Structure formats: C-alpha cells, structure tokens
Chain A
Amino acid sequence: MALPGRHPAAPARLSRTLTPERSDLRVAHLAALAVAIHVAEAVIPSPIPGVRPGLANIVVVVVLQRFGAGTAAWVALLRVVAGGLLLGTFLAPTFLLSLTGAGAAAATLAAACRIPGIGTVGLSLLASLAHVSGQFLLAWQWLVPHPSLPVILPVLLTAAIATGCVNGMIAASLLRRLDSDGRDPRRPT
C-alpha cells in the first residue's frame, strides 16, 4: 500500500533525513536574536515586580510583519523555551508565566494582524496587553490566588501600554530601515 505522495516502488525506509529548509534556518536565526535579547533583559533590575521592557517582543512583531504569523509564533515559542533553558527557569513558574504571556501575545498578534489599518505600534500594544493579561490570569488563578491581587493589574497594564508603544515604535523604525536596506532577508539568494 502506497502512502500518498510516496512512490509505490520506493523501498520502505525506517529513517528519514531531516534537512533544514530555508524557512527553518530563518526561524532559528530570528529566534536566536530574540533569545539573546530575552537573556540580556533578564539582567536588568525592574522597579516594580512583573514589569519588564519586553524588548524581545520587538523581534516577534517585526517577524510577524515580514514573515507572517507562523514564523512569529515559532520565534516566540523558541524564545521562551531556549530563554528558559539558558536562565535556568525551564518548567519553573517563571517559565510557565513567560510561556503563557508569549502564547497570549502570539495568539493576539495572529488575530490582530487581520484588523484592517492596524500598524506596528497597534500590534505591539495589543500583544503587550495580552502578554500581561495572560500572565496575570495565570498568576492569580494558580500562583497567588489572593483576592486582592487584581489591585496591581492596572499598574501592570499601564506599564504594558508604555512598553507596548515604545517597542512598537522601535519595531516600526526597524521595519523602515529593513525596507530601505538592500540586504533584505526576503530577497532570494
């Protein structure tokens, strides 16, 4: 019985060689960039617990606009997993918070890029808000189920608006530079 797409005469093979495709290499490349920013950012002390600039999300927003939601989701996921492994928080609550935030942000980005007329700053802002909201819900429902915890939510959202806008502007300026740069990564080689 031949599987679709396989030649009937081909001998059954028990192993398959995986060759990274161009898109795989691109994901790895971009994820490495995001991981580097993620790890570098972990060193910066934060004035309020839970508030971080989220600079690695600039990469995700730029990738979304250049290569689409699929690549952006991969970069976001790999960033969290590899970042967690490097920082030693893999599978710890911090990691799960990070994963939830990145997941919520990626899902929001995938949905938000269908909004007509939305720009880079709007995307970044929505992603930032989703990131904080997702993390907050997980923290509240699981880590600190204290009825007073929502008191800190507006503070976190205020920070999310600020970082979302700033990151969005950085992402927009990056995209402008990439557009005017001859070394376009979309360019076939």
Chain B
Amino acid sequence: MTRVDIAILVLAMAGTATLYMALWQPGGSAARYATVRVEDETVLRIDLRRDGVHAVEGPLGTTRIQVSEGRVRVTDSPGRRRICVRDGWLDRPGAATVCLPNRVVVAIPGTTETELDGITW
C-alpha cells in the first residue's frame, strides 16, 4: 500500500463514519412531524419535537397518540387486535401505522412521495 492508498482508506473510513453519525441518529434523519388521518382526512399534524399526548375520534371511539423524543406511537385504539398499538414507535420518514377498525392512519411523511413502495421481479 502506498501513502496515497492509506490516505484514501482513511478518507473513506472517515466519510463512512460521518454517514453513520448523520443517518443513524436516534429519532431518524428528518422525522419532524407526523400526520394523523381519520377516514382519509388529515385531522392532525403533530410536531414531533414537542412531547405530548393527542387524541382523535374515529367511528369506533378515541385513538390515543403519544409523542416522545421525536417519536410517535399509538397508545390506545378501539379494535380487537390493536395492531397499531403493538406496532410501537414510529421514528423515521416513511413510517406509518394503521388502526383500521377506527379508520385512523398515523404516518411520518417521507421526503419523496411515490406511488410504489418498491419494485421487484
């Protein structure tokens, strides 16, 4: 290995370390707010930098939402299986959870809006 090689290696490692720090921050890179929709209508836009609890009314009752440390979760929602409650914390852009019985969708919008999540063959 020449000196230039070692310099390239050091630069590459420093760059990768910087990327780790930038992209692996707790709370995600750009999760700034979450939207809550009830029956496809946005009823709430929650600032994730402010901790607190919120409640929205759906057709079956109240869905409770908690914000803490830049993350958001559903703490209670009517419905037998409570999938959105068990989903836990959402902290990254693009993350979403759905309380289907109560027609509530909690989502952190991504930076790009696309029709497809992914393509595979």
Residues of A within 8 A of B (CB): 92-94, 115-122, 125-126, 129, 142-148, 150-151, 153-154, 157-158, 161, 164-165, 168
Contacts and interface: CB of A to CB of B under 8 A. Distances in A.
Contact of A154 (B24, B111, B118): B24
B93 A154 contact: no
A106 B43 CA distance: 52
Contact of A153 (B9, B23, B110, B120): B23
Provide the main secondary structure of the chain B interface: loop
Contacts of B23: 150-151, 153-154
B60 interface: no
B5 A147 contact: no
Interface in B1-18: 1-5, 8-9, 12-13, 15-16
B4 A145 contact: no
A128 B4 CA distance: 16
Contacts of B12: 125, 129, 157, 161, 164
A172 to B, nearest CB: 8
B120 A154 contact: no
Contacts of B13: 161
Interface in B79-96: 92-95
Contacts of B3: 117
A52 to B, nearest CB: 18
